[in-house]
C-alpha cells in the first residue's frame, strides 16, 4: 500500500484523497517512510518535517471531514527547495551562513501551497544560493541522482528533482535562474517548468539574481506541473516585479493537449557541436513523434545565443554580489567571533569568509569586478546589450513559430567531481537554458528517453513567448502522452530500484 501511494502522480493521489480512499495522513506517512528508507543514499532533503507534517495532514483530513471545499492537490505532500523561506522551518539556501535560521514568515509560493492544502514535507538540497549545476556546491554535501548514485542530480535544484525522481515526494517547488529547474529535470527523468518571469511571486525567495530568478514546479509528469503552476502563479503585491495578469488554467492546457498545426522551431545553434549523441538522438525522435501528430517542425536560428552564457555570467554575479550583501552578520545567520571583538566591518568580513563557500566567493568577487568603476560599461553594460540581442532573437523566432525546442542540456548526468575543478566547463551545462532567463520567457523540460550510450535520462526543452506558458503545457502534455504510449509507462518506471543502490553505496563507503 505504502509503495503504491508514493508511486501515484500528485493528481491521482489528490483524487484518491478527495474520494476518501486514502487520508492525507496516510499519504504523508508513506512519503516520510520513503524518505527514511532512501534519503540516506539520495540526500535530497536538508530538513524533514516529520511529525509536524503528519499534524498538518491531519488538519486537512479534519477540514475535509467537515465538508470544506478543497482543491485538487489538497492533502498531497510537497517538497520545498531551501531557497524559499518557510515560517518555522529552517531555510539555508544551501549555505553555512544561514545554518539554523528559522524565518519568521513564508515565501508567497509557500503560502499558496499551504492555502491549497498541500503538506510541506521538508526542504530540499541545492547548490549554495543556487549557484551551480550539480548540488556539489551545497554546504551540506551533494544530492545523488536516483538513476545512478555516483552522478549529479543537476543543479541548483538537484534536491527537488531527486526527491520526486526517488518517489520521496510527488512534487516539489524549485527556482530557475539559468536552468536550475529544467536542467535537474533533464538529468533525473522528471518534469520542470520555469514560468514567465513575474508569473510567480519571488517574495520570500532568497534572491540570487533578481532579474533572472523564477519559482516553478518540479514533478514527475506534465499534468502535476500544471496543477502546481495553477496554485502558485498570480499577481502578488509583495513583489513589485510580479505581473498583474490573469492566467488560463495550465491543467486545462494539458488535458486538451493537441499539437496538430503547432509550429515548432528547432534552434539550430542548440542542436550540434557540444551535444552528446544520445541526447540529440532522443531529441530528434521526440520531434518526429510530434510531427507525426501534425506538428510542423522548422529550423530557426538564434545567432546571439552563443553569447548568452557570457552575458549571464556577468549579469548574474553582478546582481548576486549586490543581493548577498544582506548577509552581514547583523540580522540573521552566522556571526564570526573575533579576538578582542573587532569592528563591525571586521566581523562582517570574517563571517562572510567563514560562511560562504568557494563558488559563492568566486561569483561575488566576479560581480564586484564587473560592476566596478572603469569596467562597468565593458562588462555589465555589454552584457545588458547582449540581453537585448537575445530577446530580439526570441522575437524574430516567435514571429514564425509557436514554440521553440532544444535539448534541455548538452549531456546526461555527469559524475561527481568531473567538472568541479573547471568552473567554465560547469557553466556550459546551462547553454540551452540560460537564454530563456535572459529574455524572461517560459520553458519546460520533459523526459525524452534514455541516452543509448549510457542509459541515463535525457530531457527535451520547449520555450514559449512571455505569458504563453500554456503552450508549454500543451506541447509537453502531448509529447508525454506519445512517449509513454511508446515506453509502456512513465520513464521513471525504468529507474533502478533504490534499495539495491543504497546497499551498494554503503558497501562502497560512498556515503
Of the residues 23, 133, 138, 156, which is catalytic?
156
Interface mask (CB under 8 A) for another protein, residues 202-221, using x and -? ---------xx---------
Does position 347 interact with another protein (CB under 8 A)? The reply is yes
Q: What's the gap between Cα 446 and its chain centre? A: 13
Interface mask (CB under 8 A) for another protein, residues 123-162, using x and -? ----------------------------------------
**Shortest CA distance to 225 belongs to which of 191, 183, 184, 176?**
191
Does position 487 interact with another protein (CB under 8 A)? The reply is no
Using an 8 Å Cβ cutoff, are 432 and 279 in contact? no
Which range binds another protein by CB under 8 A, 293-301, 358-366, 456-464, 483-491? 358-366
Among 240, 261, 339, 399, binds another protein (CB under 8 A): 240
113: enclosing H helix or E strand: helix 108-115
Residue 249 catalytic? Answer: no
Of the residues 16, 81, 123, 194, which is catalytic?
81
Among 43, 282, 304, 501, binds another protein (CB under 8 A): 304
Residue 415 catalytic? Answer: no
Does position 420 interact with another protein (CB under 8 A)? The reply is no
Min separation Cβ 500 and another protein, Å: 39
SS3 assignment, position 457: strand
Min separation Cβ 1 and another protein, Å: 41
Does position 266 interact with another protein (CB under 8 A)? The reply is no
Which range binds another protein by CB under 8 A, 40-48, 237-245, 255-263, 402-410? 237-245
Give me the sheet containing 119-124, strands edge to edge: 45-48, 119-124, 77-81, 171-176, 214-219, 191-194, 443-450, 457-463, 403-407, 263-267, 296-300
Subset of residues 52 to 111 that bind another protein, contact rule: CB under 8 A: 101-105
Residue 180 catalytic? Answer: yes
- The pair phi, psi for residue 166, each rounded to 5°, is -90, 10
- The pair phi, psi for residue 45, each rounded to 5°, is -110, 140
Rounded Cα gap, residues 53 and 228, in angstroms: 19
Rounded Cα gap, residues 311 and 379, in angstroms: 8
Interface mask (CB under 8 A) for another protein, residues 242-261, using x and -? -x------------------
**Shortest CA distance to 32 belongs to which of 163, 227, 138, 200?**
163
- Measured between alpha carbons, how far is residue 227 from residues 33, 99, 117, 120, 250 in Å? 25, 32, 13, 16, 7
Does position 378 interact with another protein (CB under 8 A)? The reply is yes
Number of residues forming the site for another protein (CB under 8 A)? 77
Active site residues: 81, 156, 180
Amino acid at each position: 500500500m505504502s509503495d503504491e501511494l508514493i508511486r501515484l502522480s500528485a493528481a491521482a493521489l489528490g483524487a484518491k484523497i478527495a474520494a476518501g480512499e486514502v487520508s492525507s495522513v496516510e499519504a504523508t506517512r508513506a512519503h516520510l517512510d520513503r524518505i527514511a528508507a532512501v534519503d540516506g543514499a539520495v540526500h535530497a532533503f536538508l530538513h524533514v518535517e516529520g511529525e509536524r507534517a503528519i499534524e498538518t495532514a491531519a488538519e486537512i483530513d479534519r477540514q475535509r471531514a467537515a465538508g470544506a471545499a478543497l482543491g485538487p492537490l489538497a492533502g498531497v505532500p510537497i517538497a520545498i527547495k531551501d531557497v524559499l523561506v518557510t515560517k518555522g522551518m529552517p531555510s539555508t539556501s544551501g549555505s553555512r551562513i544561514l545554518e539554523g535560521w528559522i524565518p519568521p514568515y513564508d515565501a508567497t509560493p509557500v503560502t499558496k501551497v499551504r492555502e491549497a492544502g498541500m503538506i510541506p514535507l521538508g526542504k530540499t538540497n541545492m547548490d549554495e544560493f543556487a549557484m551551480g549545476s550539480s548540488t556539489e556546491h551545497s554546504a551540506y554535501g551533494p544530492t545523488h541522482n536516483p538513476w545512478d548514485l555516483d552522478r549529479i542530480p543537476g543543479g541548483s535544484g538537484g534536491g527537488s528533482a531527486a526527491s520526486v525522481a526517488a518517489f520521496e515526494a510527488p512534487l516539489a517547488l524549485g527556482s530557475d535562474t539559468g536552468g536550475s529547474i529544467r536542467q535537474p529535470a533533464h538529468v533525473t527523468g522528471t518534469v520542470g517548468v520555469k514560468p514567465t518571469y513575474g508569473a510567480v511571486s519571488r517574495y520570500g525567495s532568497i534572491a540570487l539574481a533578481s532579474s533572472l530568478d523564477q519559482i516553478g514546479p518540479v514533478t514527475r509528469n506534465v499534468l502535476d506541473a500544471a496543477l502546481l503552476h495553477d496554485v502558485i502563479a498570480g499577481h502578488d503585491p509583495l513583489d513589485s516585479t510580479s505581473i498583474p495578469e490573469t492566467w488560463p488554467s495550465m491543467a486545462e492546457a494539458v488535458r486538451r493537449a493537441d499539437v496538430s498545426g503547432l509550429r515548432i522551431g528547432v534552434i539550430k545553434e542548440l542542436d550540434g557541436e557540444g551535444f552528446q549523441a544520445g541526447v540529440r538522438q532522443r531529441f530528434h525522435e521526440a520531434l518526429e513523434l510530434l510531427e507525426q501528430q501534425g506538428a510542423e517542425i522548422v529550423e530557426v536560428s538564434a545567432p546571439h545565443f552563443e553569447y548568452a552564457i557570457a552575458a549571464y555570467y556577468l549579469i548574474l554575479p553582478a546582481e548576486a554580489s549586490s543581493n548577498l550583501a544582506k548577509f552581514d552578520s547583523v540580522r540573521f545567520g552566522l556571526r564570526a567571533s573575533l579576538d578582542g571583538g573587532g569592528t563591525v566591518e571586521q566581523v562582517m568580513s570574517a563571517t562572510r569568509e567563514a560562511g560562504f563557500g568557494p563558488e559563492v566567493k568566486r561569483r561575488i568577487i566576479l560581480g564586484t569586478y564587473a560592476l566596478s568603476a572603469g569596467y562597468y560599461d565593458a562588462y555589465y553594460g555589454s552584457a545588458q546589450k547582449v540581453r537585448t540581442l537575445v530577446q530580439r532573437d526570441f522575437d524574430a523566432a516567435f514571429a514564425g513559430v509557436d514554440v521553440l525546442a532544444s535539448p534541455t542540456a548538452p549531456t546526461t548526468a555527469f559524475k561527481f567531481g568531473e567538472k568541479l575543478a573547471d568552473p567554465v566547463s560547469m557553466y556550459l551545462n546551462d547553454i540551452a537554458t540560460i537564454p530563456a532567463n535572459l529574455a524572461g520567457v517560459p520553458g519546460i523540460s520533459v523526459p525524452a528517453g534514455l541516452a543509448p550510450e549510457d542509459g541515463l535520462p535525457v530531457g527535451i526543452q520547449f520555450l514559449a513567448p512571455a505569458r504563453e506558458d500554456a503552450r508549454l503545457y500543451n506541447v509537453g502534455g502531448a509529447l508525454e502522452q506519445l512517449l509513454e504510449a511508446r515506453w509502456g509507462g512513465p520513464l521513471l518506471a525504468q529507474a533502478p530500484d533504490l534499495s539495491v543502490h543504497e546497499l551498494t553505496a554503503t558497501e562502497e563507503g560512498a556515503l
